[in-house]
Structures are given as structure tokens and as C-alpha cells.
Structure 1
């Protein structure tokens, strides 16, 4: 499977390194806004031992149509900026190129655009694409259904320069019907990202915690997303849509001790 990557910041570089080390995908190219590193080899720049010749290109060099015609891919992975989808979205959808985007702060208009494009291709949007955080959200929703009377607190921790409240924490709050204003935040050092959901029972406490140790965790999530999305029919998907079928592999009857 050939993939192209938009965005080559700290997270984009980590995702690229994971893609290069996986033999089931081929990183064809990386697009970034800056002209620096132009035409450099991605594996050479990252110091990754790989036979893939993926090159770094500036967005200014291409129109989306020319890029996808001359350097076709099966899927686009987006870790760039909110306006990236407006650059490549229509041309990718027309060519049935799958899209995996991890941008966290789309406007309502951009979300509407993504859902419109999903009528032509497969699009997955996940503001936090790590497998662990999405598993945590599903587990928290199940626990809330089991025990709706519990007190629930959301605590998020990030590096000291992150000013805004975590987009992932807001998504957790939305899924649990909790006011996002009640999210507790901690800013310290170089914490990549830690999210905790605390369930306060009358006589016990349950803590569901996810911690990103390095940004390569996003690369693992991307691999799961793109390999599970590529054969799906056209539509708008979330990580929950891709994870839930794995839960259905468990037969409830097998839990019976007879």
C-alpha cells in the first residue's frame, strides 16, 4: 500500500519513522509547507535504514491534482494543519484515495467538508489516533453504562508550553457527557501526553489512564487505521468504528461457567 504524508513536524517525523519500518506500507512522499529539506530522502534525513526512496517536497511545488496524478498513493495521512484538507481533499476524494487525518481543531465547516468528501472515499478522522486512547474511551463509555451513578473526573497532563486544553480530553468529555470546563489540566516539563479518567464509586475507585511515552505512538495508531480503513466502503469513520469489531470477537456465552 502506497501512502503519502502531509506534515513533517515533531509528530509527522515520528509517524514517518514508524511507517518506514513497517513493510506493509510504502511511504511514497512527504509534503510540508516549508522549502527546507526540499527533495531530501525521508529515510536518510531520519536516519532510518530503509529501501524506500520517499522524498520530502514543499507544498508550494505542487497542485494537489498534479501530485496525485504523478505520484499516486492509496492513502493520505494528515498531520499538517487545519487547512491541509482544503488543499488535497477534493482531488483525493475524486481519485478514491483513502484519507486518515489526525488534525485536532477542525472548524464546523471543515468537518462538514470532510463528511461531504466521505461520500466519495473512505475518511477517518481522529484527533488522537493512538490505539490506547481510543480503547480507553470505549472502556470508559462501557463503565459509565454499567455504573452511571459514579463521579467522573478527567485529568490531562502535557508539556509546560501547551496552553490550550487538550483536544483529546475534550473528546473524552464529549463521549462521557461531561462539561469540558470541568477538565483538570497539568502542565509540566516535557510530558508528551497523559490522560486519566477517574471513576469515583462509593466504596472503590477506578482509574483509566493512557500515557504517550513518545510520539511514535501516533505512528502505531496510523498503521492500524490505514490498514483497517483501506478496504472499507466509502464513508466517514472514527477509530471507534474500527476498534469495535474486535470487541465483537468475544462470545458472551463463553463467559458462562456452567
Structure 2
């Protein structure tokens, strides 16, 4: 049985992970961390990760970027792999994660959905095929409480497209305003926030006389929870290295 330490257990995703874990036979939430949670869980909840004194096999993080230092410190002291699902990190924080992975095991993905990561794999080949004759735009939609914009998933998809196109330097345009004709080497990233939208991401390839749209819609948070638990099972025995959902999918 794989024992998870769930950092951010009191949030919406923390609750979804807790509910999904109850249906698993090989994985369980052994302890949680949340500063403000008032929800009653069937596992102990600590105010700070530094207070956790329960044996676990892997840390699953659905919190905020400012928790990173404490998270890495606990991983280091307890020799535990980490599955990071938090987004909105600065370049400095991402560099810190990459450096930490040289001596510790870290999994980081902007989106835990298997579907989104399948789309990401498709984009690697499709972008090379279509770029010369198509403009590329990304539209993402989320609920009105989402903090970071554009979403980490939108940037994940954009980075995949950018890395796939070797012939030109690609730049990102976050939304558009004023009089500014689109340049072919620009990928527009447009963020919509409203209501309770779980998550929608659309990649538009617009050519002369036709468009191609690749769209993923998350209907519930359960899809992210299931992916996160799969990542935890994958990471439980890892000692060093930086992993993502491509590594999980490649084992199938």
C-alpha cells in the first residue's frame, strides 16, 4: 500500500484526491497538510508540513508556489519523492525544482489529466506539420477563483508547440489589444475566467480556407485527481530525477 502525504488537502483538488483515493486498492492518504482546513478527513491533518510525523512514501502537492521551500526541505529531510501539481511558479522557483531533481525525485506537471497529456503528445507532431501554413492560437477557460493566468496547462501546450518548431523563434502574446496585426511566429494565449469552469483548453490552427481545433474539456476535478494518484504510484520508488506525465504514459 502506497502512503501519500497530501499537501493542500483542504482545497478543491485536495478534496477530489481524497475522494478518489478511497476507491483505490493500492494507495491511501496517510496524512494531510492544510493551514486553514476545517474539513473532517479520515486521516490526520497538520497545519504545517514540518509538523508531520507519520510515515509516508510520497508527497503529493496541491498547494501554492510559496510553499515550495518548505516542501523541498521536508522531502530532503525525509528522503521522499514529490509529485508537484501546483502551477504559477516563477522562473527562479522552476530552476530550484530542476536543481533539486538532480539529487531527489520530483514529478512536475502543469496538468494531471491523461487526456491533456495525450493532446500534448499529438501537438508535438502536428505543430511541425502545420506551422508553415497555419496560425496558432490557444484559448483557455477556468473558474473565477483561479489565481494564475495564463494557466499552467496553456503554457505547457504552448511550450510543446514552441519546442516542436525548429525553423523559427516563437513568441507568446498574452491576449491582444489595440492595433496590432498578428505575426506568424506569434502564439496568442487567451485566458477566460468565469463561474465554475473546471478547465477548457483549445488549440486553434487557422489556415487559408480552413481551421483545425483540438480541444480538451475537464468535466470534473476527478480527472486530475486520478492522474495525480497514478503519478504517486509511479513515483513511490523513484530516488532521483525530474519526471512528468509523459513518463507515466510511456509505461502503458
C-alpha distance in 1 between matches for 2:90 and 2:157: 18
Q: How many residues of Structure 1 are paired with residues of Structure 2 in the alignment? A: 227
> Cα distance 1:12–1:165, how it changes in 2: closer, same or farther (>3 A)?
same
Q: Does 1:156 align with 2:156?
A: no
Shift of residue 233, structure 1, vs aligned partner = 4.6
User: Counterparts in 2 of 1:87-166, with a 5 A limit?
Assistant: 87-149=70-132, 150-162=134-146, 164-166=149-151
Asked if structure 2 preserves the Cα contact closer than 8 Å seen for 1:118 and 1:236, the reply is yes
Q: Distance in 1 between matches of 2:121 and 2:220?
A: 22
Q: Which has the higher helix share?
A: 1
Q: Which runs of 5+ in 1 are unaligned?
A: 44-53, 247-258
Partner of 2:159: 174
- Cα distance in 2 between the residues matched to 1:170 and 1:180: 11
Match of 1:190 among 190, 196, 209: 196
Give the deviation of 1:13 after TM superposition.
0.9
- Report the Cα offset of residue 243 of structure 1: 2.5
- Aligned CA distance change for structure 1 residues 145 and 244 (closer, same or farther; 3 Å): farther
Q: Which has the higher contact order (CA 8 A, sep 6+)?
A: 2
* Secondary structure of residue in 2 paired with 1:33: coil
Deviation at 1:180, TM superposition (A): 4.1
Match of 1:63 in 2: 50
Partner of 1:254: none
- Check 1:58–1:188 CA distance in 2 against 1; reply closer, same or farther (3 A cut): closer
1:94 CA drift (Å): 4.0
Residue 245 of structure 1 and its aligned partner are, at CA, apart by 5.1
Whether the 8 Å contact between 2:111 and 2:153 is mirrored in structure 1 is yes
1:66-85 matched pairs, under 5 angstroms: 67=52, 70-85=53-68
TM-score by length of 2: 0.80
| TM-aligned CA distance change 1:186 to 1:92, over 3 Å | closer
Q: Which runs of 5+ in 2 are unaligned?
A: 163-170, 175-187
Q: Which residue is equivalent to 1:3? A: 4
TM-score, reference length from structure 1: 0.79
